[in-house]
Every structure is written in structure tokens, then in C-alpha cells.
């Protein structure tokens, strides 16, 4: 079927390298952020979240950094694997449980 | 356990027709969301329910779109007088409760309006 994200910004990385995906958000009142991964033909899948009272959170192979001063969020993936190839979205919540998604970045892992 | 289930997975209809899309959330999840995703775009918020009531419907584009969740479980998104611009993947997600923001998404219903 069709792939999600044919016209999205694309990040290409070599297998085994680290990946950094960036996201700018607009609402300074947003207090909670989530990164999602979406594979072709599937719904988004939760990766990691972070609250606004933190500036860093680590998971398994993933780290999210939050810079509230410049309203910037990043997702770092360590030792990128072929299975990490997907479209990645950040989402923000301004406190009302209404989650607004960004436009996404396509990650391509090169063998 | 079962995830979020959406039916139909694909729907092709003609301009002007009425369409219903169904979402079965994960059992026990109190919040249910509808998003719309066009090619190359992020999911666009439409509406979310807390229990049976619409907590926020600010994303519904116009009055042709309506959603219900009468018993606080299954939800139906209804689109009247469909237009070609309604063609997209409609995603449903559910959330367990107030203590987590993680949304569990279904695989979506792809709507094509000819």
C-alpha cells in the first residue's frame, strides 16, 4: 500500500550510527511531549515521553531532550538498526489531553 | 490482549455519499481519539471523548463530520456528503486514563472519495 510520509523531511543514517531527530513546537504552554514511530500502513506507536519539568529522559536505546527556552525537542536513537526505519512524529499536549502532532521526519537506515 | 480495532480498513465511496467509520478501543480505556492523516502529513486532531462525552471536538473541520460514543466504548465517526478532500486515513486511538498520555492507535481506515 501507500507509504506515509512520501514528502516528509528525510534523515538517512548508516546502520549502527546514532540518529538525532528534531522537532520544534509552538505552544509555550505545552507541558507534555511524546515521540511516536509510524511504519508504513500502521498507526503511530509510542516510543517515549517527557514532561516539561524535565529536560532529558532515557529509554531503551532512545533519549529525548527538551529545551523549553527555544521550544525544541529531539529524539536520539543509539546504534540505529534497520527496524528503526519509519516516520517519527513528536506530539505535544497543552494540558487538555488534546495531542497535536508535528509534520514528521522519515528515518532511513542504510545497510 | 487485543489492540484498537478499526473497520473498515478501506472504504471507497462516491462524492456526496455518507460514510461511517468504526473504532473499538482497548477494553477499559476511558479516552478515545479520532485523527485524520493525509499523505505526507502528521495526524490531524479531530475529536476526543472522555467516557461518553466529547471532551474536545475543536478539530472537526465542519458540520459534515460527527462522532459518537454512546456507551463509552465503541465510537463511530460519521461523514455526510463526502467530498474528495475528505480522502485520508482516519486513525483512532485510545488512552487508559488520566495518569498517562500514551495513545494506543489502530491501523486506521483509509477513505477514498471518488
CB contacts, 8 Å: A8 with chain B: 40
Q: Which of B43, B45, B55, B93 to mutate to test the interface with A (most CBs of A within 10 A)?
A: B43
Condensed to tens digits (0 to 9), the pLDDT of residues A83-103 reads 999 999 999 997 788 899 998
Which residues in chain A land under pLDDT 50?
Answer: 1-6
CA distance linking residue B31 with residue B9, whole number of Å: 22
CA distance linking residue B28 with residue B25, whole number of Å: 8
Q: What is the pLDDT of residue A7?
A: 60
B20-29 burial by CB neighbour count: b if 16+ within 10 A, else e? ebebbbbeeb
Q: CA A30: distance to chain centroid?
A: 16
Question: Residues of B numbered 29-88 whose beta carbons fall under 8 angstroms of chain A's beta carbons: which are they?
Answer: 31, 33, 35, 37, 39-45, 48, 50, 55-56, 58-59
Q: Which of A54, A91, A92, A97 to mutate to test the interface with B (most CBs of B within 10 A)?
A: A97
- Residue-by-residue DSSP string for B21-64: EEEE--TT--EEEEEEE-TTS--EEEEEEETTEEEE-TT--STT
CA distance linking residue A82 with residue A9, whole number of Å: 18
pLDDT tens per residue across all 114 residues of chain B? 589 999 999 999 999 999 999 999 999 999 999 999 999 899 999 999 999 999 999 999 999 999 999 999 999 999 999 999 999 999 999 998 767 789 999 999 999 999
Cis peptide before B8 (omega within 30 of 0): yes
Name the strands in the sheet holding B5-7, side by side, starting at the edge strand that comes first in the sequence: B5-7, B19-24, B75-79, B65-68
Amino acid at each position: 500500500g501507500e507509504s506515509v510520509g512520501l514528502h516528509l523531511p528525510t534523515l538517512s543514517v548508516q546502520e549502527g550510527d546514532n540518529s538525532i531527530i528534531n522537532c520544534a513546537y509552538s505552544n509555550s504552554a505545552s507541558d507534555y511531549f511524546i515521540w511516536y514511530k509510524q511504519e508504513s500502513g500502521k498507526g503511530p506507536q509510542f516510543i517515549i515521553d517527557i514532561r516539561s519539568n524535565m529536560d532529558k529522559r532515557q529509554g531503551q536505546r532512545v533519549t529525548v531532550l527538551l529545551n523549553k527556552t527555544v521550544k525544541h525537542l529531539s529524539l536520539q536513537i543509539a546504534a540505529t538498526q534497520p527496524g528503526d526505519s519509519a516516520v517519527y512524529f513528536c506530539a505535544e499536549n497543552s494540558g487538555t489531553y488534546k495531542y497535536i502532532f508535528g509534520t514528521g521526519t522519515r528515518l532511513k537506515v542504510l545497510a | 490482549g487485543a489492540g484498537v480495532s478499526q473497520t473498515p480498513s478501506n472504504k471507497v465511496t462516491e462524492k456526496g455519499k455518507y460514510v461511517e467509520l468504526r473504532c473499538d478501543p482497548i477494553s477499559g480505556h476511558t479516552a478515545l481519539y479520532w485523527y485524520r492523516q493525509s499523505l505526507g502529513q502528521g495526524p490531524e486532531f479531530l475529536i476526543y471523548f472522555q467516557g461518553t462525552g466529547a471532551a474536545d471536538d475543536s478539530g472537526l473541520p465542519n458540520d459534515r463530520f460527527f462522532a459518537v460514543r454512546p456507551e463509552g466504548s465503541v465510537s463511530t465517526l460519521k461523514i455526510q456528503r463526502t467530498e474528495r478532500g475528505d480522502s485520508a486515513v482516519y486513525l483512532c486511538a485510545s488512552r487508559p486514563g488520566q495518569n498517562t498520555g500514551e495513545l494506543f492507535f489502530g491501523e486506521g481506515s483509509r477513505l477514498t472519495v471518488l
